[in-house]
Amino acid sequence: MRALDWLVRVYGSRLYDNKSKGDYTSVKSDATRIIELSKATLTIARQLKIRKYEASALWYMGTAYGELKEYQKAIEALQEAASIARTIKDLDSESSVLTSLNNIYSDQGDNRKELEVKLRLLEIYREKKDKFYEAVSLISLGYAYIAINEFQKAVEAYQQAIAAARQVEIGKLAATSQDFALSVEYRALNGLSLAFKGLGQIDKAVDFAQQALKYAQTIRKPDLEAEALLRLSFLYTNGIKDFPKGILFSEKALTIARQIKAPNLEAEALEALSFAYNKQGNQQKALESANQLLEIAKRLENSTLELDALRKLSDIYENQGNYKQVLELAQQQLTLVQKAKLGIYETSALTNLSKGYRLTGDTTKAVETAKQAITLAKQQNSPAKEAIALLELSQAYKLRGEYDLGIETAQSALRLSQTKQNFEVEVAATAVISGIYEALGEYQKVIAVAEPALKLSQKIDNRIYSAEFLGYLGSAYTILGDYTKAKDLLDQSLKIAKELKNPNLELSALNTLGRYYRQIKDYQKALSVSEESLKIAKLLDNPPLLVDPQNTLGSIYNDLGDYNKANEFYQQALITLEKLNNREDKGVVLLNLASISFAQGEPQKTVEFSQEALTLFQQVKSPRLEAFAYQILSLGYGELGNDAKAMESAQNFLTFSRKVQNPVFEKSALSNLASLHRKFGSKDEAISNYNAALAIAGENAYIYAGLARVYQDKNDINQAIKFYQKSIGGLKKVRANIQGLPPQLQTSFLQATIDFDKFKISDIYRQLAVLLLKQGRVEESLQVRQLAGIQELREEMGQTTNIVLSETEKKIIAQYGSLIAFEQKLEGCKKSRCSELKQLQTVQDEISNQYNTKINKLAMELRDRFAQDNKGFFDPELGGKIREIVESQPSTVFISPIVYDNSIWLIWASEGGVRKAWEIKNVSEEELRQAVEDFRTSLARSFTPVNQVQEKGKKLYDWLIKPLEGELRKNKIQNLVFALDRQVRYVPMSALYDGEKYLVERYNVSVVPSAALVDMKEKLPPGTQNVSVLGLGLTNAVPGFDPLPNVQTELDQIVRKSTTDSKGIFPGKEFLNQAFNFDTLRNNLRGNQILHIATHGEFVSNSADASYVVLGTGKKLPIPEITNLSDLYYVHLVVLSACETAVGKKGQDGVEINSISSKFLSQGTKAVIASLWFVNDESTSLLMQNFYGNLAKSTSQKHITKAEALHQAQLSLLSSGKNPQENDFSHPYYWAPFILIGNGL
């Protein structure tokens, strides 16, 4: 018997080893053998009446049955073993048996039985005065309380566990227990995080999760560190909605899991990563992670993991709108649960299956399956699962139009959540109930449901939820006309948003408050609030957020009779409405007029045209068009603020749609209802109706766009991104899905009903790019920034078309001293094929893979947007263009400062291909604009004391250069190439001051308008024999402009007009005054590598078309006419030596500077030198002579670049004035305005 018992223990030990390794095939084999041996042992023990061995044999037998999922046999054996142990007062045996029994109840989902066992275990360990196991038991008890939603009891249990754990003398424990004892306090901290999350106290949940992480790092347990990271990932993803942080924590956990080769932990990390990516809206990444999880689960034969993977895949496909796949995966989940006997998960599987039926439109099966889930949840005594199933049933009833049943069912879920203090389920239930009451127009009941939720959020001090509920209630009271209560609630919401310094929350509160003031016709306050809201939206640099305040302002101006402002963006569409003749076509035209009138803010005309169209459609017996007339009519009433008539008209269209069982019409009707609810501020109801529309098969492009707008109103940026991406993908299919309608109606109607705001498809990409940047997905921002730069130029020309380093960066800097040094090491290694090459490339891959993946994804998303652009100005190879710039000459760094929100992002690249983005926080756009204006003002006045100029330049240097100072100086960087953004374009970077020297004293400086517009393949030929200059100038006074007497000297010193000319530097031609006309310019370009224009000129803010240079005749040459100079293709360098641009005031972004230079660059010119302001005629002449003199010194052996030549010329002025006999041009006023744009070689 002892031999059999020993053998059973050997197999038991082996089973647990295999289980820890994830070898579930061996686990099953071991369990089968243990049962055979245990039965033999049990027979002998009973014959000999040795109760201790009898209990032991039953224990091992029950545990083995549990591993084989034969739960009933396991429970019977373990209960008998526990009874024997209790009879013989063997506390050790009883605790071991109860632990196994607890595991069985856990697998079955029998939470109450599990709790009973845990309480008995706690009694045993306290009776034994075993503090170690008392602490362990308390932790287990805490999880049991969480499972039944008794979160406060869980908190108490974990707090007791920590107290007990700190009394444990770990050194006195058995060696096998010491390691686990170290982790007890960690597990209690993690449990506290879970409990406070259940109570809705997210801040405390995060705090304890961070304490758990710190503790795990302290005791050097990588597996626990990974677990803590995953806990933080869940909190940031599901609680705080900070998806980038959720992804970051998951990736860190995944790295650790793979390093320590822990497949189960790796699976958990992949699950968390998939969840975060899905919430973020990155379905491709989410699918990749979920499929990896599924592969691991199948390899390990772990049914629970496999179920998790199927759930994740289902969630992703739901977000994609692939409801057929959602249903198939739900069916697979249920099959797996039943086959693997995973009773604990069967309720959830049934609930998910009900959702699958609902999403695919089978409401009968959805209801039946949800009821099965509810019944099972009750049997398992799981109120949380019951509440979730009830909410799914409520959604199914709602989809069937059975609102009373939907409310009753959701209220049952609400009561359950309140009884068990499950705040998350309570919020979900409140949202569902509010949505149904809003659909019925019963706003008093919305208030009755939302007010308790508000009180609870205030009780648990969740201020974000409080602000949102205050906004919902304020909107409801506004619609009901109880303005006193509405004002009080909305003021509270705004106060919280400002105290939290949450601009998105503040924007939402102001939007709602603006609608309130408009509703009570207090237009002055409505304008004030809405304009403040618009200002915040602009500061956020997020075009989608502009729409709501602009829409409110448009409605206000319409109410005030200012139709020009109200109709500003809607005039172009009127042209198409005059072309149709017969009655049916006339009706279509009238509907178009109605739609356009709605878009133009003329709702009364919308109603009039729609009613006239309706009469015509009734005459020609076209019920489909009648229905659409009601649809447009609802828009008119909606814009008038007549929600009753708007809803009545919309319901007429919905009734017709259901009468004829036309799913396309029904989708459109539900979408329109959702759009109306959004218009009236009922955001939850809007989401509910949009989701109901999505549940019907068909194209979802405009529904997704509507959802994106709602989530923008709710400041849920991640959801907005997800739905914009879906909208883009579905736009091509719209017409195919409504082929039965006239083409005119297909076009005008669909475009007219995009969420009340006339969004263009072309706007979506810009909005998406800004939202991505706002989210902090900075790896993508360089490509988007370069694209945005070109887009700004095209629009300007009227062609509408505090640094945190990653762990990898820290390691690189620790080993190599700087990131650039690492890149240089890698480049050198590539050339010599050194032994470290593979290792260095692996490190580079770590910091490049994510960047490249996102760029490829972005390129795919933007391809449709720019497919018709003949220049293809979004090029996924822009990264290659940047690399071309930094590798065109040694020691070069590319820097692009991006201004948005309250930050400046410094995106930079250097030789080797590594690109980085560092954030300088707490610099508002207004603060930066003011600093630029102060600096430019001081520079543009030669009498400003130099120390004041330097002080203002130092401020900008600290923001724009100082964060990179270490990298630049450690690696002896010589050349800086800037791609400037917004106000920074007005800054002459050479004049920035570091406290000791100007930037020009340390580096050659040049600027590019966009990497895509720069050709770095060609250098200016060396010397003077291969370069000739076309010199054009104005010396005389002409109307509106003073004379430039030094231009004659300037050109004479530059251009050598004949072989006997001893003054000029480069051979060429010179034309002054009347000889300098457009024909002279056009006819003399070919054959000259440099075009030098010394004349007046101005870069006009906000309009490149108004910018000009003055010809020698006194006539202004508009910049757009440069495109007529086709021979600019042969000119390498254009110099504009006397132009100027005013410093940008509010609303000016310096685009005019880039747009003018880009005119030359797009014609083939490689570089442009221009001045930011007009300076002393004599100093300009001297600087230009020095510049050309420096260029002339270039040889084939020692090439002098244009940037270096300008650099030395500026230094020559900076060092002037030391000799009393020479003029002093050292003030930055004289040398700073000259900037080199484009190819600096």
Residue 332's pLDDT is 93
Is residue 394's pLDDT more than 80?
A: yes
Is residue 983's pLDDT more than 60?
A: yes
pLDDT band (50, 70, 90) for residue 786: very low
Residue type, 387: A
In which element (H, E) is residue 564 found? helix 563-566
362 by Cβ neighbours in 10 Å (0-12 / 13-18 / 19+) ranks as middle
Residue 1078's pLDDT is 92
Is residue 1031's pLDDT more than 80?
A: yes
Among the ranges given (285-294, 605-614, 1170-1179), the one the predictor scored with the smallest mean pLDDT: 1170-1179
Among the ranges given (338-347, 556-565, 945-954, 1124-1133), the one the predictor scored with the smallest mean pLDDT: 556-565
Among the ranges given (867-876, 1001-1010, 1045-1054), the one the predictor scored with the smallest mean pLDDT: 867-876
Closest to 960 (Cα-Cα) out of 996, 999, 926, 930: 999
A 10 A CB-CB count for 842 gives 9
Among the ranges given (755-759, 1000-1004, 1140-1144), the one the predictor scored with the smallest mean pLDDT: 1140-1144
pLDDT band (50, 70, 90) for residue 1000: very high
Is residue 238's pLDDT more than 90?
A: no
CATH number for the domain formed by residue range(s) 572-775: 1.25.40.10
Rounded distance between C-alpha atoms, residue 352 and residue 326, angstroms: 9
Q: What is the mean pLDDT of residues 232-247?
A: 81
Is residue 772's pLDDT more than 50?
A: yes
Is residue 857's pLDDT more than 50?
A: no
CA separation (Å) from 447 to 442, 455, 489, 1120?
9, 12, 12, 60
Residue 195's pLDDT is 87
* 795-811 confidence digits (pLDDT tens): 333 333 255 566 676 66
pLDDT band (50, 70, 90) for residue 746: very low
Closest to 726 (Cα-Cα) out of 758, 751, 757, 690: 690
DSSP 8-state secondary structure symbol assigned to residue 1146: T
Rounded distance between C-alpha atoms, residue 646 and residue 722, angstroms: 30
pLDDT band (50, 70, 90) for residue 662: low
Among the ranges given (41-45, 132-136, 601-605), the one the predictor scored with the smallest mean pLDDT: 601-605
pLDDT band (50, 70, 90) for residue 241: low
Residue 450's pLDDT is 83
Is residue 1204's pLDDT more than 90?
A: yes
Choice between 246 and 503, residue whose per-residue pLDDT is larger: 246
1096 close to 1110: Cβ distance less than 8 angstroms: yes
Is residue 323's pLDDT more than 90?
A: no
Rounded distance between C-alpha atoms, residue 433 and residue 439, angstroms: 10
DSSP secondary structure, 374-393, as one string? HHHHHHTT-HHHHHHHHHHH
Is residue 570's pLDDT more than 70?
A: no
Helices 323-339, 303-320: axis angle to 10 degrees equals: 170
1149 close to 985: Cβ distance less than 8 angstroms: yes
Residue 696's pLDDT is 82
Q: What is the mean pLDDT of residues 5-34?
A: 81
CATH number for the domain formed by residue range(s) 466-566: 1.25.40.10
Q: What is the mean pLDDT of residues 303-323?
A: 83
* 196-221 confidence digits (pLDDT tens): 887 767 788 889 999 999 999 998 88
Among the ranges given (648-652, 763-767, 1149-1153, 1198-1202), the one the predictor scored with the smallest mean pLDDT: 763-767
Choice between 709 and 617, residue whose per-residue pLDDT is larger: 709
Instruction: Enumerate the CATH 1.25.40.10 domain ranges in the chain, comma separated.
Output: 1-108, 466-566, 572-775
Tokens of 670: 């539900």
Classify domain 1-108 by CATH architecture.
Answer: Alpha Horseshoe (1.25)
Give percent above pLDDT 70 in the chain. 77
* 81-93 confidence digits (pLDDT tens): 988 989 888 888 8
Rounded distance between C-alpha atoms, residue 391 and residue 469, angstroms: 20
* 893-903 confidence digits (pLDDT tens): 988 887 766 77
CA 246 to chain centre: 12
Residue 1126's pLDDT is 85
Is residue 765's pLDDT more than 70?
A: no
464 by Cβ neighbours in 10 Å (0-12 / 13-18 / 19+) ranks as middle
CA separation (Å) from 513 to 40, 448, 573?
78, 21, 32
Is residue 995's pLDDT more than 80?
A: yes
777 by Cβ neighbours in 10 Å (0-12 / 13-18 / 19+) ranks as buried
In which element (H, E) is residue 508 found? helix 503-519
Residue type, 365: K
Is residue 1172's pLDDT more than 90?
A: no
Rounded distance between C-alpha atoms, residue 446 and residue 436, angstroms: 9
A 10 A CB-CB count for 509 gives 28
The upper half-sphere exposure of residue 1121, i.e. CA atoms within 13 Å in the direction of its Cβ, equals 14
Residue 681 phi, psi dihedral angles, 5° rounding: 85, 10
Please tell me whether residue 196 adopts helix, strand or coil conformation. Answer: helix
DSSP secondary structure, 1088-1131, as one string? -SEEEEES-EEE-TT-GGG-EEE-TTS-EEEGGGGGG-GGGGG-
570 close to 601: Cβ distance less than 8 angstroms: yes
Rounded distance between C-alpha atoms, residue 816 and residue 578, angstroms: 71
Among the ranges given (26-40, 509-523, 776-790, 1080-1094), the one the predictor scored with the smallest mean pLDDT: 776-790
Is residue 781's pLDDT more than 50?
A: no
Rounded distance between C-alpha atoms, residue 909 and residue 818, angstroms: 13
Closest to 315 (Cα-Cα) out of 348, 283, 350, 273: 283
**Whole-number average pLDDT of the chain:** 78
Rounded distance between C-alpha atoms, residue 1069 and residue 1051, angstroms: 10
Residue 1077's pLDDT is 94
Rounded distance between C-alpha atoms, residue 496 and residue 1225, angstroms: 55
Dmax (CA) for the chain in angstroms is: 129
120 close to 98: Cβ distance less than 8 angstroms: yes
Is residue 868's pLDDT more than 60?
A: no
Long-range contacts of 935-941 (CB under 8 A, 24+ apart): 935/987, 935/991, 936/986, 936/987, 936/1143, 936/1172, 936/1173, 937/1143, 939/988, 939/991, 939/1173, 939/1228, 939/1229, 939/1232, 939/1233, 940/1143, 940/1173, 940/1229, 940/1233, 941/1229
Rounded distance between C-alpha atoms, residue 142 and residue 423, angstroms: 18
Rounded distance between C-alpha atoms, residue 896 and residue 978, angstroms: 6
pTM given for the model: 0.41
Residue type, 471: G
Is residue 929's pLDDT more than 70?
A: yes
Instruction: Enumerate the CATH 3.40.50 domain ranges in the chain, comma separated.
Output: 1029-1238
Residue 957's pLDDT is 93
Is residue 346's pLDDT more than 60?
A: yes
Tokens of 302: 């772990």
Long-range contacts of 529-533 (CB under 8 A, 24+ apart): 530/556, 533/507
pLDDT band (50, 70, 90) for residue 730: low
Residue type, 840: L
Residue 43's pLDDT is 85
The upper half-sphere exposure of residue 420, i.e. CA atoms within 13 Å in the direction of its Cβ, equals 25
Residue 1200's pLDDT is 93
CA separation (Å) from 1167 to 1050, 1134, 1159, 1192, 1207?
20, 6, 11, 17, 15
* 242-295 confidence digits (pLDDT tens): 778 889 999 999 999 999 998 889 988 998 898 888 776 677 888 999 899 899
Is residue 745's pLDDT more than 60?
A: no
Closest to 247 (Cα-Cα) out of 900, 906, 901, 854: 854
Q: Of the spans 234-248, 544-558, 1225-1239, which averages the highest pLDDT? A: 1225-1239
Helices 383-400, 423-440: axis angle to 10 degrees equals: 20
Q: What is the mean pLDDT of residues 481-498?
A: 85
Residue 1114's pLDDT is 92
Residue 755's pLDDT is 58
pLDDT band (50, 70, 90) for residue 744: very low
Rounded distance between C-alpha atoms, residue 1034 and residue 1077, angstroms: 10
- Evaluate the CA torsion angle 228, 229, 231, 232 in order and state its sign: positive
Residue 974's pLDDT is 93
Q: What is the mean pLDDT of residues 812-818?
A: 69
Residue 862's pLDDT is 34
Q: What is the mean pLDDT of residues 1131-1151?
A: 67
Q: What is the mean pLDDT of residues 613-627?
A: 64
Residue type, 401: G
Class of domain 1029-1238: alpha beta
Is residue 779's pLDDT more than 70?
A: no
Q: What share of the chain is helix, strand, coil (3-state, %, to 5)?
A: 70, 5, 25
A 10 A CB-CB count for 569 gives 15
Q: What is the mean pLDDT of residues 564-587?
A: 43
389 close to 377: Cβ distance less than 8 angstroms: yes
Task: Kindly give, in sequence order, each residue whose CB lies less than 8 Å from that of residue 587, ignoring residues fewer than 6 positions away.
Answer: 613, 616, 617, 620, 622, 625, 629
Buried b (16+ CB within 10 A) or exposed e, 1087-1104: ebbbbbbbbbbbbebeeb
Place of tokens 């990896």: 292
pLDDT band (50, 70, 90) for residue 856: very low
Choice between 147 and 1083, residue whose per-residue pLDDT is larger: 1083
Residue 361's pLDDT is 76
Residue type, 146: I
Residue 851's pLDDT is 43
Residue 863's pLDDT is 44
CA 207 to chain centre: 25
Q: What is the mean pLDDT of residues 719-744?
A: 55
387 close to 430: Cβ distance less than 8 angstroms: no
